[in-house]
């Protein structure tokens, strides 16, 4: 986020506003929280797709959650498969995680449209409480998702080179030393990959 951006439009910007609106506690602020959360989920899916040149631009820019999810599945990996990559460079270890946007979050984003249109009838207290509970679960799930610092899995490219799309959120705009190495550097690194599934 650049200085002066009063309304950041990345997943973390939307997410922070969703948490703030949710914490206000009113029914009106809950609806606004759902809007921001829906945008955060959409933005996260787009962020995962965006760095990949082989993914068609049209597939990256759609607002439809199921289309974004299918684009990830078709072009990157199963939409529910995450990965942890540990890089050991001498005595330093760096851990990178790709956490997919879960099925729960994708369904929440799709269902949220029901609350972003004019209501046909007033909601009763029990319905508001259920909606608040579901929104709180989505906030917690997205918070977990945003702890990931890889935008997608490691992919093999031309010349058997592997690319990692790393978010620099935790590196304060500085790359770890290993990422600055020139190709062909003879200092060895150990890379291990573990896969996991999200629900």
pLDDT digits (tens, 9 = 90+) for 153-195: 888 777 677 777 888 765 555 556 666 554 455 555 666 777 7
Domain ranges of the chain: 11-197
* Of residues 56, 91, 81, 59, the one with CA closest to residue 154: 81
Residue pLDDT, tens place only, 45-70: 999 999 888 888 999 889 999 999 99
Instruction: Using alpha carbons, list the distances in angstroms from residue 102 to 1, 44, 59, 66, 163.
Output: 25, 11, 19, 12, 23
This prediction's pTM: 0.85
Is residue 149 within 8 A of residue 167, CB to CB? The reply is yes
* Three-class DSSP category at 140: helix
Compute the distance between CA of residue 38 and CA of residue 12 in angstroms, rounded to an integer.
12
Residues 116/34, Cβ–Cβ less than 8 Å: yes
**Each residue's pLDDT tens digit, 90-126:** 787 888 899 999 999 999 999 998 887 888 889 999 9
Query: Residue 29's CB: how many other CB atoms inside 10 A?
Result: 14
């Amino acid at each position: 986020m650049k200085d002066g951006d009063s309304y950041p439009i990345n997943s973390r910007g939307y997410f922070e506003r969703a948490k703030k609106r949710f914490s206000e506690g009113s029914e009106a602020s809950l609806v606004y929280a759902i809007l921001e959360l829906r945008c955060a989920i959409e933005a996260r899916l787009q962020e995962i797709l965006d760095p990949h040149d082989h993914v068609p631009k049209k597939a990256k820019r759609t607002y439809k959650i199921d289309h974004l999810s299918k684009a990830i599945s078709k072009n990157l990996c199963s939409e529910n498969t995450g990965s942890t990559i540990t890089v050991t460079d001498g005595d330093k270890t760096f851990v990178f995680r790709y956490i997919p946007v879960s099925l729960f979050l994708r369904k929440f984003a799709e269902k949220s449209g029901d609350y972003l249109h004019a209501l046909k009838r007033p909601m009763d207290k029990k319905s508001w409480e259920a909606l608040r509970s579901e929104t709180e679960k989505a906030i917690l799930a997205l918070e977990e998702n945003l702890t990931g610092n890889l935008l997608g899995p490691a992919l093999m490219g031309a010349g058997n080179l592997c690319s990692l799309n790393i978010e620099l959120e935790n590196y304060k705009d500085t790359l770890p030393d290993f990422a600055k190495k020139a190709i062909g550097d003879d200092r060895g690194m150990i890379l291990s990959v573990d896969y996991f599934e999200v629900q």
